[in-house]
Structure 1
Amino acid sequence: MAVGVYEKCKRYIESHTAEKAAPSFLPKHLYPAITISRQTGAGAKPVCEKLIEILDEYSAPENVSWAYFDKNLIEKVLDDHNMPEQIKDFMYETKYNHVNAAVNELLGLKPAEWTIIHKTTDTILQLARMGNVIIVGRGANIITSKLKNTFHIRLIASLEKRIEHMMDLMGFNEKEAAAYIKEDDENRKKYFKSYFNVDIEDPLLYHMIVNTDLLTHDGAAYLIAEAVVQKFSHLFPQFSH
């Protein structure tokens, strides 16, 4: 039976926690951490699901497994820092709004924005240092840019294809899908600019930009996996020539 994403993430955290608790713990390798930035509707979820499957197979000789964190990253941050469940909705990058943030902070409805960003950053760095992980969104490529074990991906697609994908995924009509994509993308751009002072579309922030118009989601996943193998070839000796 296939293991669900939540269960895989839970096992991933538990296994790494157990390893670090062992007196003899000493990492044999610094395993890769992949960050995924995406345009809304470019297919991050199916690409990541297939990528996990491929990388688990590639990493089988080392007896390690991969996990990916997307929306469940927020639950991880809340758990790591004992933050109340009620602030979950404030933590999505697509919910960014300076005015609302200021009002909520003044009214004491949530922690200061920079407190949330700091704690999210801390959790992302912890996950990246563990390795064998895919982290989607939240500026993870910027946060982990100084780590040597990271590989940064940007998924893009035409607006037409993204609208089609969101109609299938969310049950939107064409107008609703277009509006959702526009708002989501704009909020992500604001999030990156406000907290990291960078343009999310800057190609120099990524090792690879993948156009899912021109590849199937599975094809995109295989392309990314092959690039990861090339960059971290010492961890995949079975592919050495």
Structure 2
Amino acid sequence: MKRFVKSFMRDIICCNLETGTFPGPIVTISRQSGCSAQRIAIKLSKILTGYSYMSDTKTDAEWRWVDKNIFEDVVDEIIEEVKEGDYDDKEESTEMLKKVAHSFSNETIYDISDEKMIDAFKGVVCRLACKGRVIIVGRSAGVILRDLPNKLNVRLEAPMEWRISRIMQLKDCLQAEAVEYVKEMDLKRDSFIEKVIGRKAMNDDFDVIFNYASMQDDEIIDAIVNILKNKKIISQHEEY
């Protein structure tokens, strides 16, 4: 018998690149508070899938941005593996994975401090990468997957004053409340990255950094698609 909690990260395929079986392709989007990464992820997934904005037609190679439903589906798959596997900590592991899924869904993932839960979360992110053609927003996915060859890690940043002004508009709140919100969210995300990789995130953790204050969503998306083509993460010959 073996313990799932200890073996999960070791056994999962995308944590062992020596096999030459690389996960992906995958795009991660990290962002500072006030930058709308989810909106970009949704548009990007449609373009990479072959959608036009006026048609429901799509190619066989579907790209998906990872919302709570997709994350929970992957967790459910892993839970089934736990139940069928030769583990002596099935109940503990199943409960832990359910907590990870719940935390992902309600945005409390950044509050997790338990080392086992963090390892389980990292494992789920890796499993998503193994499935390929996914876009993951936030949740430290970029730093978790930084060493994978078949990925693009995107970072969205903007000046503090611009982000505060934008939060005031989006939340219809006063400046003081917006300042507190921006600082709190940035701190939560930065602290979670330190829990996950043991250090602060650095610029070289990301392949490209955009100034969200000076670019439109479509400009950022066009740039991402071109980078993916030039890096041969997606085909040069397909129409997106």
TM-score by length of structure 2 reads 0.69
CA contact (8 A) 1:54 1:222 kept: no
CA distance in 2, matches of 1:41, 1:221: 18
CA distance in 2, matches of 1:61, 1:237: 16
RMSD: 3.0
Which one is further off, 78-87 or 137-146?
78-87
Partner of residue 183, structure 2: 182
Q: Which letter does structure 2 place at the counterpart of 1:156?
A: E
Partner of residue 125, structure 1: 126
Structure 1 residue 130, shift from structure 2 partner:
1.5
In structure 2, relative to structure 1, the CA distance for the partners of 1:203 and 1:61 (3 Å cut) is same
Partner of residue 166, structure 1: 167
Structure 1 residue 71, shift from structure 2 partner:
5.1
Partner of residue 63, structure 1: 60
Partner of residue 143, structure 1: 144
SS in 1 for 2:50: helix
CA distance in 2, matches of 1:227, 1:235: 11
SS in 2 for 1:235: coil
Work out whether 1:92 is the aligned partner of 2:108. Answer: yes
Q: Which letter does structure 2 place at the counterpart of 1:33?
A: I
Q: Which letter does structure 1 place at the counterpart of 2:111?
A: K
Q: Among residues 19, 44, 47, which one is paired with 2:40 in the alignment? A: 47
Partner of residue 213, structure 1: 213
CA distance in 2, matches of 1:164, 1:234: 36
CA distance in 2, matches of 1:230, 1:123: 29
CA contact (8 A) 1:32 1:232 kept: no
CA contact (8 A) 1:94 1:184 kept: no
CA distance in 2, matches of 1:151, 1:127: 14
1:133-157 residue CA offsets vs partner (Å, 9 max, x unmatched)? 1111222122222322111111101
Which consecutive unaligned segments of at least 5 residues does structure 1 have?
1-28, 102-112
Structure 1 residue 234, shift from structure 2 partner:
6.1
Partner of residue 22, structure 1: none
Structure 1 residue 48, shift from structure 2 partner:
1.3
In structure 2, relative to structure 1, the CA distance for the partners of 1:234 and 1:215 (3 Å cut) is closer
1:128-187 residue CA offsets vs partner (Å, 9 max, x unmatched)? 121111111222122222322111111101122222332333333322121111011011
1:69-96 residue CA offsets vs partner (Å, 9 max, x unmatched)? 2555664565344447667348734435
Q: Which letter does structure 2 place at the counterpart of 1:49?
A: I
1:169-210 residue CA offsets vs partner (Å, 9 max, x unmatched)? 33333221211110110111111123312322x111111001
TM-score by length of structure 1 reads 0.69
CA distance in 2, matches of 1:69, 1:206: 19
SS in 2 for 1:215: coil
Partner of residue 8, structure 2: none
Query: After superposition, where does 1:28-43 map in structure 2 within 5 Å?
Result: 31-43=24-36
In structure 2, relative to structure 1, the CA distance for the partners of 1:45 and 1:130 (3 Å cut) is same
